[in-house]
Amino acid sequence: MRLSSIPQIIDFDPFETRTEAEATHALGEAIVLADQRVFRHGVVGASDITRGKLQIAAAPIANHVNMTCAAAALGAVTVTVTPGATAGAANLYSEGYLAINDVDGEGATYQVKDHLAITASTAFAVNLFDPINGVALVATSEATLVHNSYKNVREGTTNTIRAAGVPLDNIATGDYGWFQSKGVAAVLCETATTLGSPQASSDGVAGAIEDVTDLYGASAQRIVAWADIMAGVDTEYRPVTLCID
């Protein structure tokens, strides 16, 4: 397991974007400013993104869920899994997670170090940062691959996917930048939002937020911000307090 603490940054620019990975920052690494705003390091997915719009994580891939595993002994740092009929790029899940969801070893979550390109319906090896611990895996164990929330972030129209944060500047496809996940931020409103109301990712306008309409039902929405500064106006970028972290 890689350990990390809140870094002491003298010169931090939340508007900075880069065309290559930042060697000193892991995906999702947090920078906390004196005013308690939090920014996390991430990389953009297949489409350019716009400042002031809420970004969400990459969607789970159904054929990379509940995969069968090869047996893996205690102390092993590689697990071989067999996906369904969906391919994937090399390191699609690097800095993400391998969750053991059923049979021997279930309940454990391991961070992914790297892997080769994924061929549909073909077993491949997933290298881990930490060794298999507690219970060895057997040939009937099942595993699920989970993206890092800050790898291939995107603007989407769903409130059932993890929120990543709000960039302070436009960021191009494949570039790296910072995503605000906590504190005061101007964010696009889909509709007139109610003062004091919790906010969720919009299911109608990509990158926007909207009043939470169902807190506890079957379509429960995750709160990503509070409209505790002023009411929101449709299509305007009004200040809210982000609470993704």
Query: Do you know the residue count of the chain?
Result: 245
Q: What is the pLDDT along the chain (245 residues), one digit of tens a residue?
A: 555 555 555 578 999 999 987 667 899 999 999 999 999 999 999 999 999 999 999 999 999 999 999 999 999 999 999 999 999 999 999 999 999 999 999 999 999 999 999 999 999 999 999 999 999 999 999 999 999 999 999 998 888 889 999 999 999 999 999 999 999 999 999 989 899 999 999 988 999 999 997 666 666 788 999 999 999 999 999 999 999 98
Contacts of 109 (CB under 8 A, 6+ apart): 97, 98, 99, 100
Contacts of 104 (CB under 8 A, 6+ apart): 135, 136, 137, 138, 140, 141
Using an 8 Å Cβ cutoff, are 79 and 130 in contact? no
Amino acid of residue 243? C
Q: What is the pLDDT of residues 106-133, one digit of tens each?
A: 999 999 999 999 999 999 999 999 999 9
Query: Given this model, what pLDDT does residue 222 score?
Result: 87
Query: Given this model, what pLDDT does residue 21 score?
Result: 76
Query: Given this model, what pLDDT does residue 5 score?
Result: 56
* SS3 per residue for 3-18: CCCCCCCCCCCCCCCE
**Start-to-end C-alpha separation, the chain:** 21
For 1-25, b where at least 16 C-beta lie within 10 A, e where not — what string?
eeeeeeeeeeeeeeeebeeeeeeeb
Query: Given this model, what pLDDT does residue 229 score?
Result: 95
